[in-house]
Amino acid sequence: MTARKKREGLPRVNVTPTKRKAILIYRDQLNMSFNAIANETEEFKNTSADHKTIAYNYRRAKQDGAYTRHNKPGRPRTFTTEEMDLAVEDIDEGRATDAADLQRQRFPERPQRTLRRALCERDRRAYVRRRKVVLTERNFIERTLFAETWRDWANPAIWSQERVVFSDESKFKIGSSDGLRWCRRPRGQAQLEERNVSQQERRGLGTKSIMIWGCMTSLGAGRLHRIHGNMNRFGYMEILEQSLLPTVAEHGYSNVPWIFQQDNDKKHTARDTRAWLHDHGINVLKWPSKSPDINVIENAWSYLEHCLQRRPDQPRNEDELWEKLQEVWYSPSFSEYLKTLYASMPSRIQALLDTRGRWTKY
């Protein structure tokens, strides 16, 4: 007599009509017991199906036929298959943006929550839209021309031989960033406890911040420069004199060809600034407007703020903020991170080529 199966640890089996037909053959033609079918046949021996499962499906097959499908019990689905096909088509074609939009257009009398679940079943889950700068057709063309001009940079071997100094300005605030701050708590409880509240001054009232200029190369961090007051073209040339040129010397670029990257801010492209760059023999990279995604130093600012927020000793004033920003910026670990950012430039150029100047994932 065949021993009864121990079901623990075995995978569940979906008894399909084909398997149900096999049960009929094993039982009626080969005269096998339900226990033997569960333990000895190829279809069921390595599954959790025991003699009770086999007996139940045998009776169903004898009563209704092996290939009969029974309707599932319970109330009908709120949305039919045909309705969801049309709903998914609306989402994919851009005629509807989310569940609320879809409900207004197609299903005003049916619950939005049920519609959201139905969309999830069709693998149309909700995601926060990526924040990207506004790009016009002119921007698409400029970005495409830039990628085509520097197509060779998409090759990591070629890019590794290039010497490019990336630069940018950024603002840093004392306290939390302008973005969302998350916490974990039980639903509906302790919403206003201090640990669950992001305390921020109203914009422009009591918020303290500093502006900084920084640059980076394939060797890591360059000079970081604090900007006092409103910067004009003369202040920018002073930054280049005091921070860019020393970076070039410290990174060994003084006697070799190198390229300087800056965005198209008016201070950067002013006549006096262009003359200063020309007088110092600096080759400036022609940069496409509205292209922070291909400027690797943009990611450096985000990571710098992240590192600052994680420190237990938070700054209390602008001077302390400046000191701690420098501590992070000039740390060996941060410099290594900048090297990985620099090495990502080939992927950014390739992404720009692939999207023909449109938005990239960066």
- Where do the DSSP E strands lie in the chain? 164-173, 209-217, 220-227, 259-261, 283-284
Q: In this predicted structure, what is the pLDDT of residue 194? A: 56
3-class state of residue 172 by DSSP: strand
Domain topology for 137-180+207-355 = Nucleotidyltransferase; domain 5 (3.30.420)
Q: Decide if pLDDT at 17 tops 90.
A: no
Q: Tell which wins on pLDDT, 243 or 124.
A: 243
Average pLDDT on 235-250 reads: 94
Q: Tell which wins on pLDDT, 102 or 7.
A: 102
Our separate counts of H helices and E strands in the chain read 16, 5
Q: In this predicted structure, what is the pLDDT of residue 11? A: 84
Residue spans of the domains in the chain: they are: 1-70, 81-121, 137-180+207-355
Q: Decide if pLDDT at 206 tops 60.
A: no
3-class state of residue 323 by DSSP: helix
Q: Calculate ∠ Cα 270-359-104, nearest 5°.
A: 125
Q: Please give the helix or strand (H or E) that residue 76 lies within, else none.
A: none
- Contact in structure between 342 and 217 (CB atoms under 8 Å): yes
How far, in Å, CA of 260 to CA of 283, rounded?
6
Identify the CA nearest to 175 among candidates 193, 145, 197, 150: 197
Cβ-in-10-Å burial (0-12, 13-18, 19+) of 262 comes to buried
How far, in Å, CA of 226 to CA of 240, rounded?
12
Model confidence at 343, pLDDT cuts 50, 70, 90, reads very high
**How many CA atoms within 13 Å lie on the side-chain side of 145?**
10
How far, in Å, CA of 33 to CA of 70, rounded?
26
Model confidence at 129, pLDDT cuts 50, 70, 90, reads confident
Average pLDDT on 355-359 reads: 89
Per-residue pLDDT tens over the stretch 26-77: 988 999 999 988 888 988 888 888 888 889 988 888 887 766 666 667 788 8
Instruction: Taking the CA atoms of 70, 76, 77 and 83 in sequence, report the sign of the dihedral they define.
Output: positive
Average pLDDT on 186-198 reads: 58
Residue 194: CB atoms within 10 A of its CB come to 7
- Give the lowest-confidence range in 159-168, 188-197, 297-306: 188-197
Write out the two tokens for 222.
């360059």
- Contact in structure between 170 and 301 (CB atoms under 8 Å): yes
Write out the two tokens for 281.
């023999």
3-class state of residue 48 by DSSP: coil
Q: Is 229 left (phi over 0), alpha (psi -120 to 50) or beta?
A: left
